[in-house]
Structure formats: C-alpha cells, structure tokens
Amino acid sequence: MHYPLSLFYLGWDLEQNKAIRNYHGHLNGVYSVAVHPVHDILVTAGRDAVARVWDIRTKAAIRVLSGHTATVFDVAVQGNDPQIITGSQDHTIRCWDLITGKTTSVLTHHKKGIRSLLVHPTEYTFASGAADNVKVWKCPEGQFLRNLSGHNSIINSIAVNRDNVLVAGGDSGTISLWDWKTGYKFQSIQTIGQPGSLDSELGIYKVVFDRTGSRMITGEADKSIKIWKEDDNATPESHPIDWKPTKKRKNY
C-alpha cells in the first residue's frame, strides 16, 4: 500500500532542517518525486493521475504530463530519451519527452498497477515492478526484454546496484533478489517484524542500495528501517548469478 505525501511538495534544506520551497499544483496526494540528473528540474506524480515538472530554483511549473487514467505511483528520470518514465495504477507505463511534454510510448504489458520504477545505473534500460512481476525494458522506445518472476506478493519497491543485483520488496515481507542479466531469481529473504507486530505489518514499502551497492536498506510496515549486508558465507555455488537456462529438447 502506498500513502500519499501531501497535495504539494516541500523542498528541504538539510543543514538548516527546514522547508525552503513549496511546490503547489497537484490536486491530490503526491506519491513520488524524482530529480533530473542534469538539469535543475523536479518531477512529481500522484493520485491526480498526472506528473508535474517543476523548475527547482524558481518553483515554476514547467509542464503537466497528462494521459494516465489512474494514480501515478512512481516516476523515474534520466538524462537521455525518454527523459521521464511514469508507472500507474491504470496498468500502463508511459515514456515522455521532456521538451514537448508528449508521450513517446505507452507500455501495456503489465496486468496490474505499476508500483515502482528504476533506471539502470549503467545500461540504457529500466525496470518496472507490479503485482504480477518485474519487467525489464530497453530505452528509448520501451522495448520489452524479459520478466523477473517468482515474487509472491504485490511489489512496492525495486532497486538495482552496479553488480546487476535487482531486489524487490512487497506486501508479504518477502525480499526477492534476481540477476539483472538473466532474470534468474537466486535468493528470497523473509523479513522479521518487530516484537508485537501483526502479520499485516510485515510489508516492505521501500528498498534502496547504499552507494557501495553492498548494503540494502528497507523501510517496513512495522515502523522499522533495516540495513542488510551481504552474506559473508555466500559462494557462487550457493547463490549463482551467472545462471543460464537449460536448453529444451525439441519434440518433432
């Protein structure tokens, strides 16, 4: 489950610990925020089914990206085309041209609402997470590459590191790990709730990697934030990530 932030977005000064800018314009709760890696541009998305593009410094509204028919759960931004990618409860992903504000492609492969998006840190690809599975796409037109299947609940958040390990966290408290290149799921972790937590409080709402890519951080429904480290006892045999599918024999 996602919880909206507010009807507007606040810019914070980390040193002074105070809000320094308000961005007003959304007609309902804001679910996602992304900053452009090159320009001073902020993109927000929310329950009003649109993404809004802002000038960070002047607070000026630059564009409204309209086309989705339901809540926009997540937005991802990159320096190359498509510069903005949105995922919605309407089961679609839209790729946008920042200059024109127009949709360049609509991806309809998911059968459930898209909860999370990510742009790969080194490849010209991106991924989407929903209740059905994780899908990997090739930029710029959003060509479908592969499914990452095997997660047993609604996916709320996905992340990938430079070692091509993709993780997903969902409502059941399960964290799944795949090899980005092959789509092979090589590990599954079940979080442990804080003492006194209900089963319904085992959900993973957010998962990210630190800068090294060797630590994983999760924000969870039991009000906890957990940091996970790599398993010192893991080996290529116990957790293979260079897996290749076996060739199936053709029946003639």
Of 1, 37, 2, 26, nearest to 10 by C-alpha is: 26
pLDDT in tens, the chain (252 residues): 444 444 455 566 667 777 767 888 889 999 999 999 999 999 999 999 999 999 998 889 999 999 999 999 999 999 888 889 999 999 999 999 999 999 999 999 999 999 999 999 999 999 999 989 999 999 999 999 999 999 888 999 999 999 999 999 999 999 999 999 999 998 999 999 989 888 778 899 999 999 999 999 999 999 999 999 988 887 777 766 655 555 555 554
Residue-level pLDDT at 231: 82
Q: What is the CATH number of the domain that holds 196?
A: 2.40.10.480
* Domain assignment of residue 122, yes or no: yes
Domain count, the chain: 2
Read off the CATH number of the domain in which 106 is found.
2.130.10.10
Length of the chain equals 252
End-of-domain residue from the set 115, 149, 183: 149
158 inside domain: no
Output the CA–CA distances (angstroms, integers) from residue 233 to 3, 114, 217, in the order listed.
Answer: 37, 35, 20
Whether 24 and 10 have beta carbons less than 8 Å apart is answered as no
Say whether both 180 and 117 belong to one domain.
no
Same domain, 142 and 176: no
> In angstroms, rounded to a whole number, what is the distance separating the alpha carbons of residues 63 and 121?
26
Q: Are residues 70 and 128 in the same domain?
A: yes
**Is 155 among the domain residues?**
no
Same domain, 167 and 218: yes
Same domain for 16 and 95, yes or no, is yes
Within-domain flag for 247:
no
Please tell me whether residues 29 and 125 are part of one structural domain: yes
- Furthest C-alpha separation in the chain: 72
The DSSP output letter for 247 is P
Let me know whether 205 and 141 are in one domain.
Answer: no
Same-domain check for residues 123 and 228: no
Which one, of 192, 119, 110, lies nearest residue 154 by Cα?
110
Clarify whether residues 121 and 169 are in a common domain.
no
pLDDT of residue 163: 93
> 154 lies in a domain?
no
Domain-embedded: residue 60: yes
* Residue 194 belongs to domain spanning: 163-234
On whether both 144 and 202 belong to a single domain, the answer is: no
Q: Residue 1: its pLDDT value, please?
A: 44
Choose one of 122, 149, 176: the last residue of a domain.
149
In the chain, the N- to C-terminal Cα span, in Å, equals: 48
Instruction: Count CB neighbours of 114 within 10 A.
Output: 26
In this predicted structure, what is the pLDDT of residue 97? 94
Same domain flag for 85 and 110:
yes
Q: Are 156 and 169 in contact (CB under 8 A)?
A: yes
Asked if 63 and 145 sit in the same domain, the reply is yes
pTM: 0.85
Rounded to the nearest angstrom, the gap between the alpha carbon of residue 68 and the centroid of all alpha carbons in its chain is 17
- Residue at a domain's end among 121, 149, 177: 149
205 found inside a domain: yes
Residue 246 lies in a domain: no
Q: Which residues contact 48 (CB under 8 A, 6 or more apart)?
A: 26, 27, 28
